[in-house]
């Protein structure tokens, strides 16, 4: 899936980004959850609490600024908490960690905490997934690419209302592992970007809407692939799309990537269009556009 449309101002020469998302690095501190096992949703399910939240503005993390740090105003009146220093960084609050949008095969997916070290971890995961290795100075270009990904992430957070953009993260939801972890952010092993868009090329394949929920930048660390992390991320995207009152979900995949297309098809997406054949003449891989309807939400709209 291609990279989201909101990108930061040009920064110097940027490494080649594959048709997909963005990435960050490690941070300290920890905090574990205390929700009783009986109150947790079964594995492989979408939490009912998440489905019941249909307000237009999901709550922001209650992360405060210390000392003379400043908060950044977001479009729509929200606030982006200041990015703490490494010494100030702590784990995402226990209550927030427990509010998983979806669970699957032991993985839990939640909204990314707006904490400096957690964002750097997200940038790292996406850089690992989308960096194209080069023969010379690969480490240098990887670090540069990772910095670009982090800059793009911060830019989108600063300039997007909380119900128009979200970065979701997947982590191990096992209680014992949470208690043993010294750096909770290091549990993040998968990432996906969710954006409300209104691109004409996609809208012409949809009926009765002026915008849609776009899924992009699905990234999973290499050692955790083929372990249903992607499935968990897609389920959480659907919960968020319902919460944001969207009727269609859309994503792009490479036409020759049968593994990714199989994952999306299994999740309910169908191919509705393809890039023109001439894109291969200029050295680009051909992509397909895949759409998923949200019929459950149709009923909710009629009741309003």
Active site residue ranges: 264
Helices and strands in the chain, H and E counts = 9, 10
From CA 302, how far away is CA 294, in angstroms rounded?
13
Q: What is the largest CA-CA distance in the chain?
A: 60
- At 36, list the tokens: 């009783």
Residue 107: half-sphere exposure toward Cβ, Cα within 13 Å = 26
Map residue 87 onto helix, strand or coil: coil
Q: What angle do CA 214, 142, 125 make, to 5 degrees?
A: 45
From CA 39, how far away is CA 55, in angstroms rounded?
23
Tell me the angle at which helices 229-243 and 295-303 cross, rounded to the nearest 10 degrees.
20
């Amino acid at each position: 899936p291609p990279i989201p449309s909101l990108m930061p101002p040009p920064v110097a020469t940027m490494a080649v980004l594959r048709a997909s998302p963005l990435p960050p690095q490690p941070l300290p501190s920890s905090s574990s959850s205390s929700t009783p096992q009986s109150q947790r949703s079964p594995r492989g399910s979408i939490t009912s609490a998440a489905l019941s939240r249909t307000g237009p503005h999901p709550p922001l993390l209650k992360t405060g600024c210390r000392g003379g740090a400043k908060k950044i105003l977001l479009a729509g009146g929200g606030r982006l908490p200041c990015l703490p220093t490494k010494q100030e960084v702590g784990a995402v609050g226990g209550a927030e960690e427990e509010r998983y949008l979806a669970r699957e095969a032991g993985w839990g997916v939640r909204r990314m905490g707006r904490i400096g070290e957690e964002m750097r971890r997200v940038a790292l995961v996406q850089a690992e997934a989308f960096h194209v290795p080069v023969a010379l100075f690969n480490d240098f270009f990887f670090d540069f690419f990772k910095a670009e990904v982090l800059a793009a992430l911060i830019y989108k957070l600063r300039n997007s209302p909380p119900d128009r953009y979200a970065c979701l993260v997947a982590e191990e939801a096992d209680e014992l592992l949470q208690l043993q972890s010294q750096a909770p952010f290091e549990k993040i092993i998968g990432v996906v970007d969710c954006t409300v868009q209104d691109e004409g090329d996609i809208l012409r394949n949809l009926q009765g809407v002026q915008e849609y929920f776009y899924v992009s930048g699905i990234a999973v660390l290499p050692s955790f692939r083929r372990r249903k992390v992607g499935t968990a991320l897609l389920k959480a995207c659907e919960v968020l799309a319902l919460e944001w009152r969207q009727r269609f979900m859309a994503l792009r995949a490479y036409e020759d990537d049968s593994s990714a297309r199989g994952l999306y098809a299994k999740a309910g997406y169908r191919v509705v269009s393809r890039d023109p054949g001439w894109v291969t003449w200029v050295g680009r891989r051909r992509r397909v556009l895949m759409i998923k309807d949200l019929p459950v939400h149709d009923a909710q709209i009629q009741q309003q």
